[in-house]
A and B are shown apart, each in its own frame.
Chain A
Amino acid sequence: MRSKPVILVLFVHLCLSLLSFSLAISSGDGYTITGRVKIQSMGVKGFGAHAKSSNVKVILNGGQRVTFLRHDGSFSFYNVPAGTHLIEVDALGYYFSPVRVDVSARFPGKIQAALTENRRGLGELTLEPMRVEQYYEIREPFNVMSVVKSPMGLMMGFMLVVMFLMPKLMENMDPEEMRRAQEEMRNQGVPSLSSLLPGAARSS
């Protein structure tokens, strides 16, 4: 008596799962996998050129079969035997995760799909790009900061600082202190380049 509801639940579950997945039509010895590729214009400028859906290819099992998209983005593979297959979408400018598609032999026509990159299951075979691929570096627009930040700019900046600020600093310095510093310098001698280098400094 107790086992009855369990069976009923199982039955209902089975029916639901059958409904929720896209049904493949059995044809001869194989099934038909039908899906859709959805590419919204992702709002990125300049990608209209190679986002044309007319040259999008859908590839089954690494090149075993190749098909193209219809106007509405749908595609079909016919006469596919039961088993686990791999579908890849080749669209220039977009990154698609390959999709694992299980065509069940036990429940004829039941298809399960999952993205292989993140193992996310797909209710129906609607493939969307994971991201837009930008093949070119984006050139920074011209601005003053980039010139200033460049090595040349830094050099110029340093020079300007030395030219205009150092005299000011010197002026503000106490003449006594200045003399002392100069004397100290004289005692030490001219600092050579080698003493500035860390390796030589250790040895000296």
Chain B
Amino acid sequence: MAMAIRVFLLSLLFLSFADHSFSLYEDQAGLMDWHQQYIGKVKHAVFHTQKTGKKRVVVSTEENVIASLDLRHGQIFWRRVLGANDAIDGVDIVLGKYVITLSSEGSILRAWSLPDGQMVWESFLQGSKPSKSLLSVPINLTVDKDNVILVFGKGCLHAVSSIDGVVLWKKDFSAESIEAQQIIQPLGNDKIYVVGFVGSSQFDVYQINAKNGELIKHTSAVFPDGFFGEVLSVSSDMLVSLDSTKSILVTINFQNGEISFKKTHISDLFEDHSGIADILPSKLSGVFAVKINTLLVFIRVTAEGVLEVVDKINNAAAVSDALSFSEGQQAFALIEHVDGKVLLTLKCSHDWNNDLLKESVEVGHQRGLVHKVFINNYIRTDRSYGFRALIVMEDHSLLLLQQGATVWSREEGLASIVDVTVSELPVERAGVSVAKVEQNLFEWLKGHILKLKGTLMLASSEDIAAIQGMRLKSSEISKMTRDHNGFRKLLIVLTRAGKLYALHTGDGRVVWSLLLPSLRKSGSCEHPTGLSVYQWQVPHHHAMDENPSVLVVGRCGPNSDASAVLSFVDTYTGEELNSLGLVHSVAQIIPLPFTDSTEQRLHLLIDTDKHAHLYPRTSEAIDIFQREFSNIYWYSVEADNGIIRGHVLNRNCIGEVVDEFCFDSRELWSIVFPSESEKIIATVTRKLNEVVHTQAKVVADQDVTYKYISKNLLFVATATPKASGEIGTATPEEASLVVYLIDTVTGRILHRMAHYGSQGPVHAVFSENWVVYHYFNLRAHRYEMSIIEIYDQSRADNKDVWKLVFGKHNLTSPISLFSRPEVILKSQSYYFTHSVKTIAVTSTAKGITSKQLLIGTIGDQVLALDKRYLDPRRSVNPTQAEKEEGIIPLTDSLPIIPQSYVTHALKVENLRGIVTVPAKLESTTLAFAYGVDLFLTRMAPSRTYDSLTEDFSYALLLITIVVLIAAIFVTWVLSERKELQDKWR
């Protein structure tokens, strides 16, 4: 009987969180999660501001996004995210209804419907030779009443119909060895000029009939000094370029097919400057801009090809292309930085001294310099011309300036997150309470009536929105203090632009942002890149008064041997506390499990010469470090050579300067994979901060197994070199995938397993004593997910209670590295439908709650899959005891339950990573997914067993209690009366 009850209870428990451990009602969306949409740093922008229809700007970005933005508010009308290797080279609007994009190095031309972003046509342009890709939409060029788009890509010139994308004609230049620089189409003319260089010193002009692509004339001329870089067209028959020394400006006139060069020394134009010049690629008519050192010089070209300096500007940042706004009038924008403000000047190309517009706009000091500017004109109510400017800043943000003010701004830096960490919010102090908004009775009643309507399914869509807003307000998710459950935190994200943002986990707003000065381009640091961000100081206990801080690690250049930069940032104030420009490089950063008296975490930076550098550089840190000196081991992976090495610290560095924070290392072991058969494609370790609740795992029949929870395990996947590419390149016979489990201290291979006929890409996650990895099975032509669980056999004898009582167990016996660990491995594979972009696992505060895998699918959604589906002990017919334990009968593929998508009906476009952060409440974890979009949700893998759910009906509880009390009284009165009657009887 007792057994039956237990079975019943367990099965009830099992059923209660079997399938839909994460599921939402539609009206719950947005309560515990937030979603933000971005597009990335804008590369090109085309305005569409005709009188009818919505005013919009079409942009293409460095994240391969093409988007249409509302010009009034900056919202996204539509957005298309192209593939990772489908970079956009050009964008334009044709016929007033199609957006044209050229991508994939000039080989794919697509047309999108302007109102809704539906793809209208797509055409594949063939060519053989990689070349510069150019997109040009001539205004008045028609062939058979069809507007023509001219595309130069892969060494061919194509004329494409703008209506259906059919290639009208094609001219192949691949045999001519010309590097085309420009396509020039003079107005009112059926001729197209393709100009370019052959080699470094020959200049060629091809005159082509626009109607049929026939070559009319080909002329070439040799310029003995050689050219440098690109040509810029100044007018329809005049080009400007630089000679190979970058000190002579060359004007090229190719009128009527006659090419003539004219050289002008830069030192002739102005005496005081000599040096290297760069031509800005802005297309201005009759004028061009040259950057000499920090000076921007505007030079006018006369019809005879004579150059004259028009203006010199000292702190200019960006110049837009020319825009023709009325009959023959052309203007362009010039951006300068004056006293921390952005000065926007609209210049008329022909009348230099007359500025059309001069506005000074405050854009905020954390945005850096202006990188790009695009302008558009409109007609004011008084029929004069007004201008608006779209500017792209150093931190990738996008701003629209109009009438001396910022109309809207978009924090596009958040589209390119590099690394994420978290920080706690300040503790709520007594007396510092957030003022509560007093509600009057009527409002209170109204709110409750609305809620009642909602539960009775009578609410209209407006009511539902009102209820949603009320719920958001009441849940206090966006307060700036720590909460009891630990849901409110700060997400510290580092973006590619070198900007650090603090996002509030409650509503995703930016609390502060900081464009790191150490990660900005400077004389000593040419190409700074941010690498990662770590928790530097997490104050608790004795350092409570200090603010937490994070460490940002960057590097001055794209190569790993570039010198490193460190920056320490206070997470409450968002100010940089300190920054260090290091002399050494950084290859690896190891946060050590030790902290000093101010709770600063010790970090070990390994440089490319395998020297270890200790930070912080204090004597206290070195004392702590010396104590643990012999216990520090690390490994390095050289994926290109197929070698994994283990290292140990040796002694202080020997160099000219004595540096007690620098240590030599010694190679302890190395594993060399045979390069002809195995190539490392993935390595994964456990997260350093993961908490494991217990080593013991109770399996069926009250049996205990012990998990092998060493933190020094490394999962390595190798594939045959032929199969290490993409799917479709290898046959099953020549592909195989081998996975290893390696102890990183001893270098011992604990396990090796081969999957024949399988290939990468491998995405893996390592947690507790298991690793789950996703790969492609070529024989079945399906994706598979495998699990390996590792159990410790040396502890297996400790099951007997008496042994534990009499101390005959080996739980406290030291683990020796010389003895072979007695481990037992269990493994199983399942099919999984989708391609995967990333895998993560939920993490909770104490590690008691069962785990879920968070799988970022190819559809940019995040699927929560219960770990119990990936249990190697699943069998076709589980025994009664196994069923009781919660083992799911074996199926060949993993289920995809739509309700368990944590992103529900949203997408995280271009998903790149998922980060899980434990909340203070054991059942709950925060999951943050980032890509072009950001998404954060709160999830409870085993439901919120330690707190009441949000939709718990307190009202019903109260009513029940009241009714019960009333019933007690009523029955009491009734029974009294009955007793009295009985006594009277």
Give me the interface of A with B, judged by CB distance under 8 Å. 27-28, 32, 50, 53-55, 57, 59-71, 76, 78-81, 83-86, 88, 90-93, 95, 97-98, 100, 116-117, 133-139, 141-142, 152, 155-156, 159, 163, 198-199, 202
Contact = CB atoms under 8 A, between A and B. Distances in A.
A97 B83 CA distance: 20
B801 to A, nearest CB: 19
A55 B65 CA distance: 13
A135 B80 contact: no
A155 B128 CA distance: 79
Contact of B971 (A85, A134, A163): A163
Given A85-B727, A159-B967, A139 B124 contact: no
B980 interface: no
A183 B120 CA distance: 91
B560 interface: no
A137 B124 contact: no
A27 B898 contact: no
Interface string B102-127: 00000110100100111111101010
A152 B956 CA distance: 8
Nearest to A152: B960
A88 B971 CA distance: 67
B728 A93 contact: no
A85 B25 contact: no
B506 interface: no
A95 B905 contact: no
Interface in B883-903: 893, 896, 898-899, 901
A139 B29 CA distance: 13
B613 interface: no
Contacts of B618: none
A136 B761 contact: no
Interface string B539-555: 00000000000000000
Q: Would you call the interface of chain A mostly helix, strand, loop, or mixed? A: mixed
Interface string B825-839: 000000001110100
* Most chain B Cβ neighbours within 10 Å, of A28, A70, A76: A70
A137 B835 contact: no
A113 to B, nearest CB: 11
A86 B776 CA distance: 10
Given A83-B729, A88-B835, A54 B122 contact: no
A54 B898 contact: no
A139 B25 contact: yes
Given A68-B119, A100-B781, A199-B2, A59 B901 contact: no
Nearest to A69: B119
A156 B905 contact: no
A142 B456 contact: yes
Contact of B761 (A28, A62, A79): A62
Contacts, number: 159
Contact of B455 (A27, A62, A68, A142): A142
Contacts of B907: 92
B379 interface: no
Contacts of B893: 117
B457 A62 contact: no
B83 A65 contact: yes
Nearest to A150: B956
Contact of B126 (A27, A67, A137, A142): A27
Contacts of A135: 24, 898-899, 901, 904-905
Contacts of B964: 159
Contact of A98 (B782, B861, B904): B782
A100 B898 CA distance: 23
Given A84-B731, A134-B899, 10 more contacts: A53-B118, A64-B726, A65-B83, A67-B83, A79-B124, A84-B728, A136-B904, A139-B26, A142-B457, A198-B1
Nearest to B108: A78
Contact of A54 (B118, B727, B960): B118
Given A98-B782, A136-B904, A156-B963, A64 B727 contact: yes
A83 B126 CA distance: 21
Contacts of A97: 833
19 contacts: A57-B859, A59-B83, A63-B84, A65-B83, A66-B84, A68-B80, A68-B119, A78-B108, A92-B861, A98-B783, A116-B781, A133-B901, A136-B24, A136-B904, A139-B25, A155-B960, A163-B971, A199-B2, A202-B2
Given A62-B727, A64-B727, A141 B956 contact: no
B116 A28 contact: no
Given A61-B728, A65-B83, A155-B960, A137 B2 contact: no
Contacts of A63: 83-84, 835, 837, 858
A163 B899 contact: no
B86 interface: yes
B260 to A, nearest CB: 40
Interface in B767-798: 776, 778, 780-783
